[in-house]
């Protein structure tokens, strides 16, 4: 726009030079007045358009600034969305891990409860067996010359006498307890019997404890004659 105005001013000057050479003084004065008026209008118009151009430049700069700010905000929003997606993914993963852990804990609790029930049942059975053995004590003592003692760790010691005809008071002993599996287990035997393992296995299979005691006494008796 400024270049067009400058070109227009040059044309006016050229016109003025030609005009003076053709017309007289009075016409020149009138023309000068007209020219001055035109120049003032052009000047005002130039200032007006220059101001508008400046305002437009400022507006363009402002729009560019706004666009840059919008781009920056969009970039931040995009980054935040990515971070939010990652956080959600991590939360979902952690929730899955927590659920899996809770399931494992629940399974362990149920397994522990079952084991406790089994242990309680075995302990009850063991206690009942020990009580049954103790109730049979008088019968064994009377018929087999057997003494039963409760010793440490819930073990029972069985003491046979009247086996060795040369020394009726000589003790023949073995120690028994009921293990965690609920089976009879001989922990010691004096004097040692080679068949004690066989007797132990048989009483586990048959649960015939009276026959077990009788077989051990018989083995001790046979050993006394050797």
Residue 165 DSSP label: T
**What pLDDT digit, counting tens, does each position of 88-128 carry?**
888 888 888 888 888 888 888 888 888 877 767 766 766 67
Residue 133 banded pLDDT, cuts 50, 70, 90: low
Whole-prediction pTM: 0.42
Distance from C-alpha of 158 to C-alpha of 156, rounded to nearest angstrom:
6
Contact 173, 190 (CB under 8 A): yes
* Number of neighbours of residue 31 by Cβ within 10 angstroms: 16
- The rounded Cα 72 to chain-centroid distance in angstroms is 37
How many DSSP H helices and E strands does the chain contain? 5, 4
Burial class for 174, CB neighbours closer than 10 Å (0-12, 13-18, 19+): buried
Paired tokens of 167: 């020394």
The pLDDT value given to residue 135: 64
Q: Report d(CA 168, CA 170) in Å as an integer.
A: 6
pLDDT tens for each residue of 45-82: 778 878 887 888 888 888 888 888 888 888 888 888 88
- Provide the β-strand partners of residue 218: none
């Amino acid at each position: 726009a400024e270049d067009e105005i400058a070109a227009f001013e040059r044309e006016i000057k050229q016109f003025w030079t030609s005009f003076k050479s053709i017309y007289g003084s009075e016409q020149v004065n009138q023309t000068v007045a007209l020219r001055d008026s035109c120049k003032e209008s052009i000047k005002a118009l130039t200032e007006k358009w220059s101001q508008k151009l400046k305002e437009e430049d400022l507006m363009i700069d402002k729009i560019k600034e706004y666009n840059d700010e919008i781009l920056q905000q969009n970039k931040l929003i995009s980054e935040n969305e990515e971070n939010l997606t990652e956080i959600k993914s991590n939360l979902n993963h952690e929730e899955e891990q927590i659920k899996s852990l809770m399931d494992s804990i629940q399974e362990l609790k149920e397994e522990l409860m079952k084991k406790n029930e089994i242990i309680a049942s075995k302990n009850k059975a063991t206690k009942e067996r020990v009580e049954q053995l103790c109730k049979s004590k008088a019968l064994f003592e009377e018929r087999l010359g057997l003494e039963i003692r409760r010793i440490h760790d819930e073990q029972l010691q069985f003491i046979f006498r009247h086996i060795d005809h040369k020394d009726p008071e000589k003790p023949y002993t073995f120690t028994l307890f009921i293990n965690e599996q609920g089976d009879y287990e001989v922990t010691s035997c004096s004097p040692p019997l080679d068949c004690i393992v066989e007797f132990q296995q048989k009483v586990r299979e048959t649960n015939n404890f009276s026959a077990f005691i009788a077989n051990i006494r018989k083995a001790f008796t046979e050993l006394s004659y050797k």
